[in-house]
Amino acid sequence: MKAILKENAGPGFTMRDVNKPEKLGPRDVLVKIRRASICGTDVHIYKWDEWSQSRIKPPLIVGHEMAGEVVEVGEAVTQVKVGDLVSAETHIPCEHCYQCKTGRMHVCKNLEILGVDRNGVFTEYAVIPETVLWKFSKEIPLDFASVMEPFGNAVHTALVSDLTGKKVLITGSGPIGLMAIQVAKAAGASLVITTEVDPLRIEMAKENGADIVINPLEQDLVKSIYTITNDGVDILLEMSGNKKALEDGLKCVTMGGEASLLGIFGGSIDINLDSLVIMRGITVYGITGRRMFDTWKVADELLKNKKVDLSKVVTHVLPFDQWEKGFELMLNKKCGKVVLNLD
């Protein structure tokens, strides 16, 4: 079968033939991958940055966002059957630690990540534990089911707070930020303001329903927000991983408001917690992954009932053998989400 691998330490990937998995563990499932989408994490591994060098152990089949069909199950599998269409939670929990036993599998102490710590889904067939498979509703197209994992990030980040009638600021309009715009609208936010510096993504933010898009390189974000809202925003959704965006975003939150942080900053950052958070009574949520499986149920319902339209985020669907073009689009930020079609 064909697979995209990080074959050696260094930049780039390789597509080559590898052996199809033959042996399943008792609770493993063999999935025929029909769609796989490219994530920012895949780009980090492709570039072989500092994080990748510390985490990835080549050779490794990469990729973690997928939609596929169950073709074989292990002897102890009870949750899925041959023929089921599934997507996958990429955080693989141990199911035994304190977090797993208390409803917090998404922050399992012994967490492994598909396509990072074990072979992933940029391949024709993948072995995935039944624990993390989600049978998505038949109304959801495969192209959209393959991005349910990052869509779940947007859902988790946005809906940790009650957005009904609230003014929301989303810093960063990458694919997850774009999805969050639609989630916030569906949840009843009264005003959704986003920030973005890239011209393509500014237009995409508008297409996805942002009421106002601010380019912080051209406008003072804090002054603009208080001019628009008078009292500031109720909720900050930080999606950029940019220190300046976080600092200014917190300044934009009204006293007693809330901030939900998904962006990854790549190291220590220096901000004044006294003046930005503590003395202003701001509640801050750290978001990682998706709650298993509360978030997945909400994501499924939003997509099934067409409350969110991911055609405004998925900009390219490419044949699997054009994966290099997909990574080129991602590296140059000329796209939203890129989906690879393996059918």
pLDDT at 267: 87
Query: What is the average pLDDT across 93-119?
Result: 97
CA–chain centroid gap for 56, Å, is 19
Q: How do beta strands 125-129 and 28-37 pair?
A: antiparallel
Cβ atoms of residues 134 and 293 within 8 Å? yes
Tell me which residue has tokens 């990030």: 153
Sign of CA dihedral 33, 35, 38, 39: negative
Question: Does the active-site annotation cover 44?
Answer: yes
* pTM (global) more than 0.75: yes
Q: What is the pLDDT of residues 241-284, one digit of tens each?
A: 999 999 999 999 999 999 999 999 988 999 999 999 999 999 99
pLDDT tens across 303-336, in order? 999 999 999 999 999 999 999 999 999 999 999 9
Residue in 130, 15, 30, 129 with CA at minimum distance from that of residue 62: 15
Q: In the structure encoding, which two tokens stand for residue 312, read together?
A: 């405004």
**81-92 tens-digit pLDDT:** 999 999 999 999
For the question of residue 14 being annotated catalytic, the response is no
E strands present in the chain: 2-6, 14-17, 28-37, 60-61, 65-73, 85-88, 91-92, 112-113, 125-129, 133-135, 167-171, 191-195, 212-214, 233-238, 253-261, 283-286, 314-319, 337-341
Question: Please, how many CA atoms are within 13 Å of residue 46, restricted to the half-sphere of its CB?
Answer: 19
The two most distant CA atoms of the chain are separated, in Å, by 62
Looking at residue 121, its amino acid is V
Indicate the domain borders of the chain: 2-135+313-341, 154-286
- Contact 7/1 with Cβ under 8 angstroms? no
pLDDT at position 266, please?
84
- For domain 154-286, the CATH superfamily is NAD(P)-binding Rossmann-like Domain (3.40.50.720)
One-letter amino acid for residue 204 of the chain: M
Residue 8 neighbours by CB distance under 10 Å: 11
- The share of the chain scoring above pLDDT 90, in percent, equals 98
Does pLDDT of 174 surpass 90? yes
Strand order in the sheet with 253-261: 212-214, 191-195, 167-171, 233-238, 253-261, 283-286
pLDDT tens-place string over residues 38-70: 999 999 999 999 999 999 999 999 999 999 999
- Topology of domain 2-135+313-341, per CATH? Quinone Oxidoreductase; Chain A, domain 1 (3.90.180)
Q: Are 166 and 190 in contact (CB under 8 A)?
A: yes
Q: What are phi and psi of 193, to 5 degrees?
A: -115, 135
Find, among 342, 306, 343, 284, the residue nearest to 137 by Cα.
306
* Among candidate residues 135, 127, 134, the one with its CA nearest the CA of residue 26: 127
CA distance 263 to 35: 26
Mean pLDDT for the stretch of residues 129-156:
98
| CA nearest to 45, candidates 113, 128, 136, 93 | 113
Q: Which of 14, 41, 164, 316 is catalytic?
A: 41
Mind listing the pLDDT tens digit for each residue in 222-240? Answer: 999 999 999 999 999 999 9
Q: Which two tokens stand for residue 248?
A: 């200014």
- 129 backbone dihedrals φ, ψ, rounded to 5°: -65, 140
